[in-house]
Amino acid sequence: MAKTKTKFFCTECGYEAPKWFGKCPGCQSWNSMVEETETVIKTQGMNSPLFHSKEKPLSIINIESGKEPRIQTGIAELNRVLGGGLVPGSLVLVGGDPGIGKSTLLLQASNRLAQNGIRVLYISGEESVRQTKLRADRLGALSPELFVLCETNLESIEEAIENVQPGFVVIDSIQTVYLPEVTSAPGSVSQVRECTARFMRLAKVKGIATVLVGHVTKEGAIAGPRMLEHMVDCVLYFEGERHHTYRLLRAVKNRFGSTNEIGIFEMGEDGLREVGNPSELFLSERPLGVAGSTVVASMEGTRPVLVELQALISTTHFPSPRRMGTGVDHHRMNLIIAVLEKRMGMYLQTQDAYLNVAGGVKLDEPAVDLAIAVSIASSFRDIPTKPYDVIFGEVGLTGEVRAVSRAEQRVREAEKLGFKRVLMPEKSLKGWKHPKGIQIIGVNTVADALAVALD
């Protein structure tokens, strides 16, 4: 007979324990242990055919190396984030807030693949077949090679995959799928771990590109055990404010490409639309001739993006001034304020400082330091910056401006959008041909940059 055991699992890292802990011994998270009942059923174990492999160890010098073929999804922004397209047999995990557009993106990608002759199986555990059809009608995702199934039993899903023989499978979502052999509820740590392992084995053995949709916690991380992200080949996050029309797709793990790329979409009535020129989108509502507003050239992977930085400096009435930054590193902001106080003589100890990246973009590279410094100084002195200036560069603690990578691409993007002048590190001027349609000014210190930008 089957034996029933009670175990405790950590919802953050998947740590397993025979008794409850207030603090997880694995990841040190408080109140993350949940109780689950497991029924142990005797199976064939290691004698099962699934565990047998005819592959033999090979010397690495005898293995033929070749470029892995990729499947083009028909959506350029999605291909960019994936590293050039879907790899056959890969397992991709997509997470994001509820209602952000995960299902819409995957249904559109499924339709493009089906139109290219690839058989697609879209499995929904949260919507019925008719509800999926209503969304497909709105998106125009109607292709004879696109098959839809409403099922949550993993064994039935495997049977459907065997019958349809698809080249691309979408599971929406992994938290709704359950394995009958595991007695815990769908969405529990045991179910998510076991179902993901089965999908991973299925993708590798049959060479099917599989995408799993994952729910996220209130902190924004993908729900379930942390090992879920270790098991898959690629982890994508779909971000954006629900009250804004644009969406950002980021890769936080990618075994087949870079994790620095982003894909930008705009949500409309007929689904998600690719944004080919994100700089123009982020600068569309920029006010001209306003103190505290600057444009910075940031790199998102291989793509230069021009974004507006806004700073507001106001006198505080409290003993401790407030420092608030949205879209930038809070500690980096405090560091630049300290440099301005020490090296430039700006008395900011009695001033509240607010910094915002317009459009909700997150900038985490050091090249935005100089633009932050100029924005804060512009607001503090109430002197507007030039409306057609682009600024970038890293700022050191002694007030020097350090070189940054890919300066040529940043300048080319600024020239393409009609900007007249670029303030950048002087050490980044060497080694490339300067365009003639834009003025380039190299600076060595923050004082030099402020003298040019706020003259």
Read off the pLDDT of residues 131-143 as tens digits, 9 standing for 90 and up.
999 999 999 999 9
Average pLDDT over residues 40-68: 64
Residue 261: which pLDDT band, with cuts at 50, 70 and 90? confident
CATH architecture for residues 281-453 = 2-Layer Sandwich (3.30)
99 carries a ligand binding annotation: yes
Element (H, E) at 313: strand 303-315
96 carries a ligand binding annotation: yes
Domains 70-276 and 281-453 alike in fold: no
101 carries a ligand binding annotation: yes
Domain ranges of the chain: 3-43, 70-276, 281-453
For the cut 60, the answer to whether the pLDDT of residue 42 exceeds it is no
CATH 3.40.50.150 fits 70-276, yes or no: no
Contact call for residues 388 and 344 (beta carbons, < 8 A): no
Indicate the length of the chain as a whole number.
Answer: 455
102 carries a ligand binding annotation: yes
172 carries a ligand binding annotation: no
For the cut 90, the answer to whether the pLDDT of residue 195 exceeds it is yes
Q: From 384, 402, 382, select the one nearest 392 (Cα to Cα).
A: 402
100 carries a ligand binding annotation: yes
Q: What integer pLDDT is reported at residue 52 of this predicted model?
A: 55
Least confident piece of the model among 42-46, 83-87, 322-326, 426-430: 42-46
18 carries a ligand binding annotation: no
What does the alpha-carbon distance between residue 359 and residue 437 come to, in Å, rounded to a whole number? Answer: 28
pLDDT in tens, 310-325: 999 999 988 899 999 9
393 carries a ligand binding annotation: no
| Pairing, β 168-172 against β 120-124 | parallel
pTM, entire model: 0.77
Where do the H-state alpha helices sit in 176-257? 189-206, 227-231
